[in-house]
Amino acid sequence: MTPNEDWREIGGPDALDAIIPPSTSSGAIPWLQPLRTRAVLGLTPVVAPAVLFVPIGAVLGPSFTNVLSPTALGYLDAVVAVALAVLGVFAGLALDLRGERNRRIFTAASVEAIVTLLAVGGAFLVLLASWNLPLVLPSALVALTLGLCASVSSAGGADDTSPTHAIAAGIADLDDVLPILVSGVLVVMLGSATPVPIWSAVAWLFRTIVLGIAVGTAGWLLFERAHSRAERNVFIAGVVALIGGTSSFLSLSPLLAGLMAGLLWVWLPGQADRVVRSDLQRVQHPLIVVLLLVAGASCEFSREAVWLTGPLVLFRLTGKLMGGWLAMRVQGLVNASELGLHLIAPGLLGIAVALHLLQAVRTPGMAAVLTAVVAATLASEALALVLRPTQETLP
């Protein structure tokens, strides 16, 4: 496992960032310095597309011009499922546990994700009980959903090249594994017309894992023996489409199925992980654009969404600081008190998880959750820009 240099959430770096030279001025306010050296007003390339395409989707959606009507959004569900499968594949490709250092980083990432999930979910469970908002859904499921969306991070777009950032980038790469696993259970519980016992939802989780492994194995047998690059591209695209389409049809999680396929390709012999990563980057950008447009169009601005957004930003910031501190204490990977500050940038996976759960249960309450997650993602990115770490100490 290496630090995220490919910005796997969007399929590649921002070309403008490679063109704009770094600023050598020392008179600028420190937290405004990135505005002079990076594209899209200093936002990381990972979240910059959301700043553009989510508002466009909101304008085109049913709440405004209705260009993307509910019927059109229904037709795009299949494309969103494929995009989710691609995100899951890249999460699996990043999960290489061969080597002691890699396993320590994964443990630290899991600790950080668990702490953030529990902090955000627990705080919202108490808050929702006192507010009594008309979200229709059980407060526990809403709190868990918000905790899942808040627990993911993205450090791949930062221009910091320090050793601590390299560790933080590795943690941010892997702190989405646990949320993806939990979302595989949650999507079954939310998508069922009748209450689903937890043991039954876990059984469906194993079915999703088996699906990802089975399709991944079939794909590996195909594209490892492809006679040309064009043939291999067709096989890879077909396998990812099969993962997304089958999972969506069975009301399972394309993210989890894609995660298992990507993890399988890392462990199988040959160059499956490298060729899949290279070829999927060609289609990842347009898929992410569609996902963000659909997410924006699916947002419904309501009182409930406004009430959820502010606490979500605050609770997520608190959870990330707590999780980063505890991960550092448990693993001793770095001796930096500001590790949690590197993890404030949210990335796009939280939006993807919220949109996926909205597809599982289309209610005004879940639409309010998606809207709050989208707004909190942009607000958390602004916080990450302001709260950029300034000093570090290494072991």
Q: What confidence tens digit (pLDDT) does each residue in 340-392 have?
A: 777 888 888 899 999 999 988 888 889 999 999 999 998 888 887 777 665 44
- Residue 395 predicted with pLDDT over 60: no
By percentage, how much of the chain surpasses pLDDT 70?
79
The CA–CA distances, whole Å, from 248 to 79, 208, 227 equal: 10, 11, 31
Using the Cα atoms of residue 2, residue 8, residue 11 and residue 16 in order, give the sign of their dihedral: negative
Q: Which domains does the chain have, with CATH numbers?
A: 45-386 (1.20.1530)
- Residue 300 predicted with pLDDT over 70: yes
- d(CA 37, CA 164) in angstroms, rounded, equals 21
- d(CA 240, CA 12) in angstroms, rounded, equals 19
- Residue 120 predicted with pLDDT over 90: yes
Q: What is the pLDDT of residue 360?
A: 87
Using the Cα atoms of residue 351, residue 352, residue 355 and residue 357 in order, give the sign of their dihedral: negative
C-beta neighbour count of 303 within 10 angstroms: 10
- d(CA 367, CA 354) in angstroms, rounded, equals 9
Instruction: Give 267 or 225, the one with higher predicted confidence.
Output: 267
Average confidence score pLDDT of the chain: 81
Q: What is the pLDDT of residue 8?
A: 57
Q: What is the pLDDT of residue 273?
A: 85
* pTM (2 d.p.): 0.85
- d(CA 28, CA 383) in angstroms, rounded, equals 19
Residue among 109, 360, 387, 170 nearest 249 (CA): 360
Given a contact cutoff of 8 angstroms between Cβ atoms, the answer to whether 97 and 266 are in contact is no
Q: What is the pLDDT of residue 81?
A: 95
